[in-house]
Structure 1
């Protein structure tokens, strides 16, 4: 199971929120003093450590609050918040956030709030004119016999 985790962003983001915390001490305590290196932790140990740090920092509560506020602001701006595909499509737009809603960090959610408030202040999202629907009916042109000159 060692080496299963390749990205330690979750841990380092949580470590930043704990001033005075020591990486080696944390890793050692969650591996029963077996190692002080993140890459030598099992996935189970790593996830348990991150879950504990999230609980200590209150990270989940902060994210939940900010996501809720962003969804409320999206609704006020005119985004259909009952459809996750539309929410993600809106957030993926490069001028909005550039990534799916679930992938937004706390800083990204703060930036999104600012953008949404600006959109609301300017009148919300404008509906795009729908492309003219193509008529699937076949058009027949009637030419009575003898009216077309034969060449």
Structure 2
């Protein structure tokens, strides 16, 4: 079977966030055995589905998933406020891909990066949002009657 997962950073980040007493390698192997149904103890031999389930559960246990959800929600709210259609993921991603904003798709932005992104969004909001220009001053129209009775 071809190796389906090649980057294990998500797993190790979630594992580090847990308060583990004992040998991390033993805990890692035990988790892999558990999520592969006893098939293997190696991360490299996990299927993508097994790996996803394992990481989601580890993130849920350490509260990281919930934190990311809250960060994303706050960021999307600000995006909507400045004029980005947050129901259209293509637009959200196109905005985030700009190197001046985040330089990556919205889903790839980590929880620790969202506060910086919101700072940028608040700066954009303070300058009037996206594509919004201050309305020109209203011109006052004065009608001067040409006849002495007020009728033109």
TM-score by length of 1: 0.70
Contact kept? 1:2, 1:39, Cα under 8 Å = no
Counterpart-to-counterpart distance in 2, 1:33 and 1:25:
16
1:116 to 121, 125, 131: 121
Distance 1:66 1:103 in 2: 13
Greater displacement, 76-85 / 63-72: 76-85
Is the contact made by 2:124 and 2:130 (CA closer than 8 Å) also made in structure 1?
Answer: yes
Secondary structure at the counterpart of residue 123 of structure 1: coil
Q: Counterpart of 1:3?
A: 3
Is there any run of 5+ residues in structure 1 with no aligned partner, and where?
129-151
**Structure 1 match to 2:28:** 27
- Shift of residue 122, structure 1, vs aligned partner: 2.7
TM-score by length of 2: 0.70
User: What is the CA distance between 1:28 and its match in structure 2?
Assistant: 1.9
Aligned length: 127
Q: Who is 1:134 aligned against? A: none
- The superposition leaves residues 90-139 of structure 1 with CA deviations (integer Å, 9 ceiling, x where unpaired) of 100000001111111112222211211222223222349xxxxxxxxxxx
Residues 29, 92 of structure 1: alpha-carbon distance in 2 compared, 3 angstrom cutoff: same
Contact (CA 8 Å) 2:93, 2:106: kept in 1 or not? yes
C-alpha contact (below 8 Å) 2:56/2:65 kept by paired residues:
no
Q: Runs of 5+ in structure 2 lacking a partner?
A: 134-152
Q: Once the two structures are superposed, what CA deviation does each residue of 1:20-65 show, in whole Å capped at 9, x if it has no partner?
A: 4653122221215953x43244445433321220120122211111
Q: Distance in 2 between matches of 1:74 and 1:18?
A: 32
